[in-house]
């Protein structure tokens, strides 16, 4: 009988379409799934509070899936290198299989673990489980990484289609004797303060929740995705991001789920492959491409001239932004949705981020840190790309003179004010005409809606027109150009 294989699980918390698991089964012998809690190995970016909450429940779901397949999940604390070697000694395993990670500190860790295990005479192999195309497989004509999304994704779409996802095994061969394990509660992933009721009501972590989310999106929202994806007042987005981040579902499963739907709807190949939703999968791929090739961007701007930008330090303004008390309803609704559910609609993320870096001139690093701690889908690659894009200092960045007007963005994408009313109930009585501009509303309208500015809802903490002018002047100096009219 073959010796056991350790299956080292991290952000691949599923049984379906799991190449490392598939390889371990093909190898023969018992398979011992193990999760190691080693947050310090993530360097400057250990999992935030919302991510830890999700991880707890995702691991709980995975434990149930493994038990249904006749297996178990072994939980240990790191460091990973010594924990894996110790488990191999305790179980007689002579191989460790796992899935690739792409964050800077973890790619270094993976290489060190491989060398350590190989030095001990153990087989150490890893596979891609989280991307359609690994970062080093996509290059421009000069053999260098892409820095602009459109040619990057056009190139990806010209490559061979992703392989069909692997099925989930019904049974996993178990060892004669299982090694000791920690109880999930011992990892202390859930926060000690009770702020997670909204997370529990909003999400179902685990592969079952991921499959249900994908199915619901494809059959209820995909047809209108291009039209509704920018509307926070409508259920128009997939909300798959946390499931993809934790590997409860793979991008290949999403891709081929969409392919099956297209076949059922008799959609042409170009029609669905060039859809806006597929492009969003591309942006996820692009973010990992950038992070892998430009690892310094988690803390520093891709374009070095932006290191001279005159960011401000204003604790009062930062706190108002974090708490959804800026006086701009769309921004405040988004920040409150984030705190209550661990998620924020993508259009509102852009507006809230633009307000922080361009209206308040507070650095994008401050925003990235807050999102990292509060988002259930906090992903280092996408968080970095999104904030550098908004700040104008990253790859494929928004033009520096693009400064979102929170009021007009609200009027365009939350035209009836339903999203603001949900998250800023103190404004619920305002008519749609004024709900995104309460500070401009006539006193009679405010009185009728029982809105007391400065009491129940704050006055704007800055004047957007003035803040926009100040930001444009600062950006123009950095860019070495004349401020646009």
Nearest to 326 by CA among 467, 473, 446, 472: 467
Q: Which one of the listed residues 311, 314, 411, 426 is annotated catalytic? A: 311
Q: Which one of the listed residues 123, 190, 283, 426 is annotated catalytic? A: 283
Is 383 tagged catalytic?
Answer: no
CA distance 254 to 208: 14
Other residues' Cβ atoms within 10 Å of the Cβ of residue 188:
11
Q: Which one of the listed residues 123, 134, 280, 426 is annotated catalytic? A: 280
For residue 33 the two structure tokens come to 């799934």
Is 127 tagged catalytic?
Answer: no
Q: Which one of the listed residues 3, 195, 346, 426 is annotated catalytic? A: 346
**What is the rounded (10 degree) CA torsion for 349, 323, 371, 305?**
80
Is 98 tagged catalytic?
Answer: no
Q: Which one of the listed residues 37, 53, 339, 364 is annotated catalytic? A: 364
- Helix H, strand E, coil C: the string for 328-389 is CHHHHHHHHHHHHHCCCCHHHHHHHHHHHHHHCCECHHHHHHHHHHHCCCCCHHHHHHHHHH
Residue positions counted in the chain: 485
CA distance 308 to 423: 37
Task: Please say whether the dihedral angle defined by the alpha carbons of residues 312, 317, 322 and 324, taken in this order, is positive or negative.
Answer: negative
Q: Which one of the listed residues 37, 153, 387, 434 is annotated catalytic? A: 387
Is 311 tagged catalytic?
Answer: yes
Coarse DSSP helix, strand, coil percentages of the chain, rounded to the nearest 5 percent:
55, 5, 40
Phi-psi region of 211 (alpha: psi -120 to 50; beta: other; left: phi over 0): alpha
CA distance 418 to 75: 44
Is 283 tagged catalytic?
Answer: yes
Query: Which residues carry out catalysis?
Result: 280, 283, 311, 346, 364, 387
């Amino acid at each position: 009988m073959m010796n056991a294989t350790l299956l080292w699980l991290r952000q691949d918390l599923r049984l379906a379409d799991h190449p490392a698991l598939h390889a371990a089964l093909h190898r023969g012998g018992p398979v011992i799934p193990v999760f190691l809690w080693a947050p310090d190995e993530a360097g400057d970016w250990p999992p935030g509070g919302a991510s830890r909450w999700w991880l707890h429940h995702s691991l709980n779901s995975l434990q149930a899936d493994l038990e249904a397949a006749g297996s178990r999940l072994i939980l240990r604390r790191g460091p990973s290198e010594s924990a894996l070697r110790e488990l191999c000694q305790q179980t007689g395993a002579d191989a460790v299989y796992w899935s690739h990670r792409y964050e800077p500190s973890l790619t270094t860790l993976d290489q060190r673990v491989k060398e350590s295990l190989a030095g001990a005479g153990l087989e150490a192999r890893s596979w891609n489980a989280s991307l359609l195309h690994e970062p080093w497989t996509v290059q421009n004509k000069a053999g260098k990484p892409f820095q602009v999304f459109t040619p990057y994704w056009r190139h990806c779409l010209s490559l061979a289609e992703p392989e069909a996802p692997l099925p989930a095994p019904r049974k996993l061969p178990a060892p004669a004797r299982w090694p000791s394990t920690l109880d999930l509660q011992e990892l202390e992933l859930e926060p000690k303060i009770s702020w997670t009721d909204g997370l529990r009501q909003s999400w179902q972590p685990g592969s079952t929740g991921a499959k249900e989310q994908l199915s619901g999106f494809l059959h209820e929202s995909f047809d209108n995705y291009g039209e509704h994806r920018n509307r926070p007042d409508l259920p128009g987005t997939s909300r798959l991001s946390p499931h993809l981040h934790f590997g409860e579902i793979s991008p290949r499963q999403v891709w081929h789920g969409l392919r099956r739907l297209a076949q059922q709807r008799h959609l042409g190949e170009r029609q669905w492959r060039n859809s806006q939703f597929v492009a969003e999968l591309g942006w996820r791929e692009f973010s990992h491409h950038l992070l892998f090739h430009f690892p310094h961007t988690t803390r520093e701007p891709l374009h070095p001239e932006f290191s001279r930008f005159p960011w401000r330090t204003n604790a009062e303004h930062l706190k108002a932004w974090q708490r959804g008390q800026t006086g701009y309803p769309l921004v405040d609704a988004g920040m409150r949705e984030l705190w209550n559910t661990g998620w924020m609609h993508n259009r509102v993320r852009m507006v809230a981020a633009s307000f922080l870096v361009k209206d308040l001139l507070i650095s994008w690093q401050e925003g990235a840190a807050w999102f990292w701690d509060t988002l259930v889908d906090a992903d280092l690659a996408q968080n970095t790309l999104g904030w550098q894009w908004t700040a104008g200092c990253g790859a494929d960045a928004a033009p520096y003179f693009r400064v979102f007007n929170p009021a007009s963005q609200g009027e365009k994408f939350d035209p009836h004010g339903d999203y603001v009313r949900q998250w800023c109930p103190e404004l619920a009585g305002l008519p749609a005409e004024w709900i995104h501009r309460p500070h401009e509303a006539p006193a009679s309208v405010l009185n009728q809606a029982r809105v007391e500015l400065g009491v129940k809802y704050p006055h704007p903490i800055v004047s957007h027109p003035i803040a926009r002018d100040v930001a444009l002047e600062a950006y123009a100096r950095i860019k070495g150009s004349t401020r646009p009219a």
